């Protein structure tokens, strides 16, 4: 069973997007199998110890998980230097810079999405962005929903704009950086890459991509799948895609671009087919080019699409994603030229 929420918000409009994907590439299993370099400081030693204890506890509870050996040739984006919060800061500033208008005001609200940990556990990514950008609202983070995190942040931002008259701008920032001893492998579902993206949302922003509908579904009861075994609830994803289209009053044929997550390509195509989404309208870059960016995956792909598309009034984008514990999400954006 699951709980699902949906909202149609006419006010929320995407004013600007930005992304950062590092140039470096690595095989997803190399960093996990090879011994990590000697820690550079006492703090780094503590961080690795905390990470190792977390993984050790998880394996004792769940037992050893399956390892996928089918993606030996896959190479994913890997950030060798910048912290998670540094990547987040870079894309946040770029999104604000790209925002139309002369006044580059600080966002009223910052929402951070991440599944991986900041390398320095004493550092808050949300707190750092709040300090650097001078936002007026108290920042907060959404985690452990993998690709669904961005959709929940989008829903929360739209809700806040609808209920808070003084809230005009919200900045959603998603970033991931996977470091040893964490593995980049999630069975056969995906190989995790590093990257970050930001989406700036404004109320009554005029021409642009308006949030037509967004829905998030999360399980609220325990499932029979062992916690170490990641899975995608295909039925839940198909259902939420259909419900989102129905709530928006649209048929799948009315969609111009369909953007699935960079998970297993076969699985993504199967979900699209079961949801009766037009296959010829699927916008799906090579999933092996940078890997699955988890919480940052949807906003990175959205920025890539918006930078390459020449939209016309009334065109629509459908994005969907799924978490690895049964979560599902879908959003529909509509371009309004006036």
Max avg pLDDT among 72-76, 103-107, 177-181: 177-181
Please say whether the beta carbons of 218 and 243 come within 8 A: no
Q: What is the arithmetic mean of pLDDT over 88-105?
A: 87
Task: Provide the pLDDT for residue 287.
Answer: 60
Q: Measure the CA–CA gap between 39 and 47, rounded to whole angstroms.
A: 10
**Model confidence at 6, in pLDDT bands (50, 70, 90)?**
low
Write out pLDDT tens, residues 29-42: 754 444 445 556 67
Write out pLDDT tens, residues 186-236: 888 899 999 999 999 998 767 899 999 999 998 865 545 445 578 899 999
Q: Measure the CA–CA gap between 240 and 244, rounded to whole angstroms.
A: 6
- Those residues with Cβ within 8 angstroms of residue 206's Cβ, 6 or more apart along the chain or in another chain: 13, 338
Torsion angle, alpha carbons of 327, 314, 11, 260, to 10: 20
Report the phi/psi class of residue 165: left, alpha or beta, with left for phi > 0 and alpha for psi in -120 to 50: alpha
Please say whether the beta carbons of 42 and 205 come within 8 A: no
Task: Provide the pLDDT for residue 49.
Answer: 66
Q: Which residue has the tokens 């540094």?
A: 86
Task: Provide the pLDDT for residue 10.
Answer: 55
End-to-end CA distance of the chain: 41
Q: Which residue has the tokens 């999630």?
A: 186
CB-based burial label for 23 (10 Å; 0-12, 13-18, 19+): exposed
Q: Measure the CA–CA gap between 44 and 50, rounded to whole angstroms.
A: 10
**Model confidence at 47, in pLDDT bands (50, 70, 90)?**
low
Whether pTM exceeds 0.95: no
Q: What percent of the chain has pLDDT over 90?
A: 59
Task: Provide the pLDDT for residue 34.
Answer: 44
Kindly report which listed range (77-81, 140-144, 259-263) carries the lowest average pLDDT score.
140-144
What does R_g of the chain's alpha carbons equal in angstroms?
Answer: 19
Q: What percent of the chain has pLDDT over 70?
A: 79
């Amino acid at each position: 069973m699951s709980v699902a929420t949906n909202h149609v918000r006419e006010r929320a409009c995407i004013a600007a997007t930005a992304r950062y994907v590092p140039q470096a590439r690595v095989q997803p299993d190399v960093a996990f199998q090879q011994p990590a370099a000697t820690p550079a400081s006492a703090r780094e030693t503590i961080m690795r110890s905390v990470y190792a204890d977390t993984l050790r506890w998880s394996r004792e509870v769940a037992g050893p998980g399956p390892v996928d050996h089918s993606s030996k040739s896959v190479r994913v984006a890997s950030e060798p230097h910048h912290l998670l919060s540094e990547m987040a800061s870079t894309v946040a500033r770029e999104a604000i810079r790209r925002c139309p208008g002369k006044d580059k005001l600080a966002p009223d609200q910052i929402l951070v999405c991440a599944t991986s940990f900041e390398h320095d556990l004493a550092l808050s990514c949300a707190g750092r962005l709040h300090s650097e950008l001078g936002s007026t609202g108290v920042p907060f983070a959404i985690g452990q929903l993998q690709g669904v995190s961005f959709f929940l942040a989008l829903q929360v931002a739209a809700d806040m704009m609808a209920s808070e008259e003084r809230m005009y701008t919200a900045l959603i920032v998603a970033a991931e950086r996977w470091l040893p001893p964490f593995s980049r492998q999630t069975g056969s579902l995906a190989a995790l890459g590093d990257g970050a993206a930001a989406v700036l949302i404004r109320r009554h922003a005029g021409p642009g991509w308006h949030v037509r509908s967004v829905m998030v579904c999360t399980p609220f009861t325990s499932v029979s799948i062992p916690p170490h075994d990641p899975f995608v609830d295909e039925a839940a994803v198909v259902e939420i895609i259909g419900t989102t289209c129905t709530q928006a009053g649209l048929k799948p044929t009315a969609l111009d671009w369909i953007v699935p997550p960079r998970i297993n390509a076969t699985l993504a195509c199967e979900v699209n087919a079961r949801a009766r989404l037009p296959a010829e309208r699927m916008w799906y870059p090579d999933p092996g080019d940078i890997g699955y960016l988890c919480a940052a995956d949807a906003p990175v792909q959205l920025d890539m699409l918006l930078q390459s598309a020449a939209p016309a009034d009334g065109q629509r984008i459908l994005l969907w994603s799924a978490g690895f514990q049964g979560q599902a999400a879908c959003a529909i954006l509509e371009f309004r030229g006036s």
